[in-house]
Chains A and B, each alone.
Chain A
């Protein structure tokens, strides 16, 4: 495997898809900034109407500078955009002519595949992050314009902080003496990370099956799978903690430490499962790419 081959293929891909990538960049920046702008406008309307109404509505600047709703929408954006990008991994192969050009290009399958992953996953994530930072900056600038140098905080930092829980450190430390909180939190973090990796890889695999607009189908499949998984876990977890005496169910176990430990183990297992599924998705999509033909059952 040759890095110069990957570079050559990269140059080729960027040359023929210049417009596509440019449009993706513009689209994600616009959406992110749009969310930020709309959020600001909404809050500002509430704030100005509240101020006009006086102490009846307690919506002061402290509320105003807390962009909760905006952050929710931006979180959705962070969740969705990398998946959309992953779902476009093989966009070169959408049309017959594109398949001819890419599949006959003298680079090995591995090298071409690696570049596609770098773009769809790496670039996708970076673009998402950059868009959110730009949205953040935009929000900050709006605040400065309207309110002068009033403090407002970075949405980006807050959102990525979701990986730690919104509990003050001192309280957390106190609880940890009684309950295995820290291990539970680590397992939760790992679960969130692996589930988003798995989500991205599922979109890559879905795209390798059908090169055209597979995003919606993949989303549907994943949604279905998540619901089944959630139901299954609740059943298993519930069953593990139901007290049975004789024939009768006496109620749920109140062993909170036990439950937390079980939950931690469950989360670690799930994280491992998700990582495995992600790996399988990537491997299978690579195999499909190697066997790509000019026409297939799902791509005419």
Chain B
């Protein structure tokens, strides 16, 4: 279980981006972290991953503080950032270098996802376009099968067919012991694949609940209403 306890954080010289936030994430859930651009979604993901130091409060993954960066904890977590650079090497070699760190890695999942994305199974990572980089990185993330998988705006930069491929790859690659948190401002891209919604705006949690399977709801409308009403 992933617990966020009374988390407070601000970038240097600015006011609090996150203030006294407490949330819980359980295994088997696909959580949508929805919010407008710039509301601190990325910041929250970085805090979860131990990439930022909380001013107050803590993030605990199965009882261990994530900022302490214990290898055992880190081997169960993975983040797909919004933007990244690929190293100057081939996918094969990169996978060989990463494998020893992630015991749950499954090559079959990698190949399945690359197939869904219509990408070859090996290529030089530096030669990829922005969209292709995303596809490869997402495939890699899914194949690592970490317990916690964080995705920051995964559909940004993907065209409509690729967004569809993303949803397919996620369904193919995820497993029910994972905690998947997807942050996005494009609700429509993910509303069918998430089963929990956490909406944040201006440092407040507007909504944090599981979607009721019996009562379908237009998430995009709900989202716009919630952030418009304030």
Do A and B come into direct contact in the complex, CB within 8 Å?
yes
Residues of A within 8 A of B (CB): 5, 8, 11-12, 15-19, 95-101, 103-109, 290-291, 293-295, 297
Task: Determine the chain B residues whose CB is within 8 A of the CB of A290 once the complex forms.
Answer: 69
Known: A15-B94, A291-B53, A293-B51. A106 touches B101 (CB 8 A): yes
By the criterion CB–CB under 8 Å, are B81 and A109 in contact?
Answer: no
Give the residues from 68 to 100 in chain B that come closer than 8 angstroms, CB to CB, to chain A.
Answer: 69-72, 74-75, 77-79, 81, 83-85, 87-89, 93-94, 96-98, 100
Task: Determine the chain B residues whose CB is within 8 A of the CB of A19 once the complex forms.
Answer: 88
Interface string of B1-32 (1 = CB under 8 A from A): 00000000001100000000000000000000
- With both chains docked as a complex, state the minimum distance between the C-beta of B51 and any C-beta of chain A, in angstroms: 4
By the criterion CB–CB under 8 Å, are A11 and B97 in contact?
Answer: yes
Task: Determine the chain A residues whose CB is within 8 A of the CB of B11 once the complex forms.
Answer: 295
Interface string of B43-82 (1 = CB under 8 A from A): 0001001111100000000000000011110110111010
Task: Determine the chain A residues whose CB is within 8 A of the CB of B88 once the complex forms.
Answer: 16, 18-19
* CA gap between A239 and B11 in the complex, in Å: 52
By the criterion CB–CB under 8 Å, are B69 and A109 in contact?
Answer: yes
By the criterion CB–CB under 8 Å, are A105 and B74 in contact?
Answer: yes
CB closest residue in chain B, given A107: B71
Chain A binding site: helix, strand, loop or mixed by DSSP?
Answer: helix
CB closest residue in chain A, given B42: A294
* CA gap between A109 and B71 in the complex, in Å: 9
Of A5, A16, A99, which contacts B71 at CB under 8 A?
A5
By the criterion CB–CB under 8 Å, are B79 and A104 in contact?
Answer: yes
By the criterion CB–CB under 8 Å, are A97 and B84 in contact?
Answer: yes
By the criterion CB–CB under 8 Å, are B51 and A8 in contact?
Answer: no
Known: A104-B79, A106-B101. A16 touches B70 (CB 8 A): no
By the criterion CB–CB under 8 Å, are B94 and A293 in contact?
Answer: no
By the criterion CB–CB under 8 Å, are A103 and B50 in contact?
Answer: yes
Of B46, B71, B100, which contacts A294 at CB under 8 A?
B46
* CA gap between A295 and B13 in the complex, in Å: 13
Of A15, A96, A295, which contacts B87 at CB under 8 A?
A15
* CA gap between A99 and B46 in the complex, in Å: 11
By the criterion CB–CB under 8 Å, are B87 and A105 in contact?
Answer: no
* CA gap between A12 and B94 in the complex, in Å: 8
* CA gap between A8 and B102 in the complex, in Å: 11
* CA gap between A200 and B116 in the complex, in Å: 50
* CA gap between A32 and B183 in the complex, in Å: 52
Task: Determine the chain B residues whose CB is within 8 A of the CB of A106 once the complex forms.
Answer: 71-72, 74-75, 101-102
CB closest residue in chain A, given B89: A15
Task: Determine the chain A residues whose CB is within 8 A of the CB of B46 once the complex forms.
Answer: 294
Task: Determine the chain B residues whose CB is within 8 A of the CB of A96 once the complex forms.
Answer: 83
By the criterion CB–CB under 8 Å, are A105 and B85 in contact?
Answer: no
* CA gap between A17 and B157 in the complex, in Å: 27
Task: Determine the chain B residues whose CB is within 8 A of the CB of A18 once the complex forms.
Answer: 88-89
